[in-house]
Each structure stands twice: as C-alpha cells, then as structure tokens.
Chain A
Amino acid sequence: MGKQTIVPFGPQHPVLPEPIHLDLVLEDEKVIQAIPSIGFIHRGLERLAEKKEFTDMVYVGERICGICSFIHSHAFCHAVEGVMKIEVPERAQYLRVVWGEMSRIHSHLLWLGLMADSFGFENLFMHSWRVRERLLDLVEATTGGRVIFGSCKIGGVRRDINEEAMGGVSKELVEIEKMSSEITSIFEKDSSVKKRTVGVGVITKEDAYLLGAVGPVLRASGNVSDMRMLGYGAYGQLQFQPVVETAGDCYARTQVRCREVHQSFGLIRQAIERIPAGPIDVKVTGTPTGEFSARLEQPRGEVFHYVKGNGTKFLERYRVRTPTFANVPPLVHMLAGCQLADVPVIVLTIDPCISCTER
C-alpha cells in the first residue's frame, strides 16, 4: 500500500464553474475515497417563501439556476397547481413543453462544451457554445430573455408564440439541429473523446439505482427513468421514450445527453404540430391548502419542488431537491478507484449545477 495523501479538489478549480469541494484521498495517483462538502454559496431561497406571497415565489423559483431556470419555474407552478387543483389550458401546457425542451437543448450544449473543455478539446468546446448561442437567440425571440425566461406563471404562461413566429421557430430549429448533429457526431465517434471517457467512472445499474442517481447518470447505467413519462405539461400527448445506455461510464453519460439533444428537437416539433388554439392562462383565486411534490425532469434529472400551503398567501414550506444534490452519492462512488487525472472528467459527467444545489 502506498502512502496516502489528501488533495483538495475545489471549491475553486479550473474545471468547475461553481464551487463544490472534494477531499480526494490518494494512494500515488489513485483515488481511494472522495469526501464532498457543499454550502459555500447557500442562499436559503426556500425560506423566502415565508416572506413572499406564493404567486411571487415563481420569480424566486426561476432564479434558483441560470441554466434550467424555466423548468424550475414550471416545477414550482406545477406544485402549486397540484395543491390548488388548477387545470392549466392546453395551449399553455404545450408552450411549457416548447420552452422546457429549448432549456434542455441549451443546457446539454453548454455541458457538451464544458465536457470538451475538461479533456482539453478547446475547438469542440467553442463550437458547442457557438451553436448554443443560436438557440439562446431563439429563446430571446420567443420570451424576451436569454437566461431568465419569465414566461411561466401559476395557471399558465405569460406570453404566447403566434403562428408566424412558430413557423420561424420551426425553420430555425432545423438549422440548429443540423449544427448540433455535427457536434454530437464528434462526441460519438472521435477517438480522442473515447480515449478519455470509455470505461472511466463506471457505475453499475444496481448501484446507480440504490445510490439515488437521477437523469442521464441513472439512464446511462441502464435504468429506464424519465419523469416526463409522468405526463405533466403536454408530455402525456407526445410520443417519446427515455434515452437509455447501458455501459454506465463517462462515454455512456455523454451519449445519453447527445441523443437527448435530438430527442428534444423532436419533442418541440411534435408540440408545434399539435399545439391547439386557445387561452394561455386561467385566473387563480384563493390560497393553497395542502401539499404536493412536483417531480419534473430537468436536463440534469429529476427535480422535486415540494410545496405545503396553510391557507394563507405565504407557504408553510417550500423545498427543492435538485438533481445535482441527488447525484452527489453516485459521484462519490464513481470517484473511488479512479485515476487523479480522470477526476475532472468524472465530476463533469454528473453535470454538476451547484447554483441549483445551493438553492
């Protein structure tokens, strides 16, 4: 047995856009154990629910994260709608799918860029983000925002996309998908990508399930689980199946995200074809009494937005369990036994969003 040393990884590290800390226990270059700690930028947003009216908490929910912001606001609205049994108009449900899937595409393209950066493929990093910019332009054209969409509200959505604009969205999506295909095919076929990812950071199907993994981490190990199958929004009306890989390594997690980019383009196309005319919101009256957990599929996996109302305009409890928080135990498991040089790549493959985790 070699001499053991402890190397701190983070909270400030070139590969981490946000602060998470891991104490890596090493024997020579081999990681024996990884001990995580979080909370460097904890904001206590959940307790703001005691001071802000539940209708205003949509804005707070959306600001939990700058990447999956729209799906956070959708999840909060869905939780309150679950408590108050509000029936959201069909057109609004479809619009939520369109913006939700745009979020997924831009999140995955951002991640693909960061992943390329983590193993030194700078050209691929820049191309991924170039394509993402085109999608953000589309988000801006339809919502007015690039980071915060500000389009979801309890009982529906705040703005519509008219027929002419919807045609423009479809046309632009064809172009963006073509460019995305060029990027994802490199991630699938390039030998330098495979050398850094195949067989690295393996987690088995059973371990991923029992350690509470969610999203692409869970699906890349052969587990079929995607919260969109619950049918919230208009997902119950659309045809799709969860993207699943079986190898459970960094390459499999990359493949799941690459295929999900194309799946999201398909879901937006289906939504645009089927979206009915009609109102985009309903008037919300009364205050929430009762509790409901909204479980939605974010780009990083299942998110919980738990809401408990006590009949006043202030919620008694608002709790958010983010996908990155759930993926910390699987990450610790994957890191044990790996080489120190592979740590950045493995950490990146859970797509860590510390902003979400430090809600």
Chain B
Amino acid sequence: MTVRFEEQPIQDIEKKDLVAQVAQLRKDGYRLGQICATTLTENFEITYCFDKDYKMVSLRLMVPRADAVVPSITGEYFAAFTYENELQDLFGMKVTDLKLDFGGKFYQLAKKTPFNETKAEAVANAAAATQAIQTKPANAGEVK
C-alpha cells in the first residue's frame, strides 16, 4: 500500500492581484480552506488555501513586516473575516476593507500580537525582559 500524500500546488502572487485571483477561484467553485500566516525575518508569508472536489490549491503572498497591509478577501468569501481578524490580532497586520472588523478584539488575549516575532526575536526579547527585571533597584515598586 502506498501512502497517499495529496498534491498541494502553491502559486506566488502580488498583493495587487490578490482580490482578482480570489474572485476567479470563487467563480470556479472553490471553497475557502484557510488562511495561514508565517512570520519571517523580513516578511509575513500569507498562504490562502482553497479546495474543490478534494483538490487543494494555494495562493502565496509575501508582505513586508515594515508595511504589513493586505487587502481583505471578505468581499468574495465573507468567512475570511475570522482568518483576517486573526492576522490583525495575532500578527499585527492591517487588513483593509474587512467586512467584519473586530478592531483587534476578536481574540481576547493578554498579550498584543503575540505572533509578530520570529523565534530569534522572541529569544532576544525574553532575554532583554529578564535583564530589565534583574537590573531593577532592590527597592523598586516598594510601597512606603
């Protein structure tokens, strides 16, 4: 018996083409599977996955972290509002023309945009926070 791993083609696209490409997929009868973001050193890598008759296709967008603005696809797939609010709440991106925008409050989190750092940045930030605690004067925060 051969293990079946499905083919999962990924098409790289430009930001300006995103909505038109998604509109075409909707016209072709695809269902939105998920939107997945990955934090890289310079960019956010956003993958839009679609499914039709058990065939998955994906569109991939690279967005600079310094200017993390992406257009919403909720005009084509309203269900994308959950994923796009996730991009805002967890990654700190700005999604424009979002049909249902929770303004950063879809996820009720203690920490803001917790996924907006790479592993190396997370380690460095944690080390800096530890050092800041250790270098505090002994009487810091004391109530007199």
Give 1 or 0 for each of A17-48: 1 = CB within 8 Å of chain B CB: 00001000000000000000111101010110
Given the interface pairs A293-B49, A304-B34, A304-B49, the reply to whether A39 lies near B107 with Cβ below 8 Å is yes
Interface residue? A272 (CB, 8 A): no
Contacts A209-B31, A316-B38 hold; do A329 and B78 have CB atoms under 8 A apart? Answer: yes
Contact of A328 among B82, B89, B114, B122 (CB under 8 A): B82
A85 and B5 form a contact (CB under 8 A) = yes
A310–chain B nearest beta-carbon distance, Å: 10
Tell me if A236 is interfacial: C-beta within 8 Å of chain B. yes
CB atoms of A236 and B4 under 8 A apart: yes
Which B residues touch A319, using CB under 8 A? 36, 38
For residue A235, which residue of chain B has the nearest CB?
Answer: B4
Tell which of B32, B38, B109 touches A317, judged by Cβ atoms closer than 8 Å: B38
Q: A328 to B79, alpha carbons, bound, how many Å? A: 8
Q: Are B38 and A38 in contact (CB under 8 A)?
A: no
CA distance A47 to B113 in the complex (A): 13
Structural contact, A292 and B79, CB atoms closer than 8 A: no
- How many A-B contacts if CB must be within 8 Å? 99
Cα-based distance from A37 to B3 in the complex (angstroms): 39
Whether A326 is near chain B, meaning CB under 8 Å from some CB there, is yes
Who on chain B is nearest to A19 by CB?
B108
Residues of A within 8 A of B109 (CB): 39, 42
Name A's B-contacting residues (CB within 8 A).
21, 37-40, 42, 44, 46-47, 50, 81-82, 85-88, 90, 93, 209-212, 225, 227, 229-232, 234, 236-237, 292-293, 295, 302, 304, 306, 308, 314, 316-317, 319, 321, 325-326, 328-330
B15 within 8 A of A: no
Closest chain-A Cβ to B52's Cβ sits at a distance in Å of: 10
- Indicate if the CB atoms of B36 and A329 lie closer than 8 Å: no
Which residue in chain A gives the minimum CB-CB distance to B81?
Answer: A329
CB-CB nearest in chain B for A358: B107
Q: Quick check: A234 and B1 within 8 Å, CB to CB?
A: yes
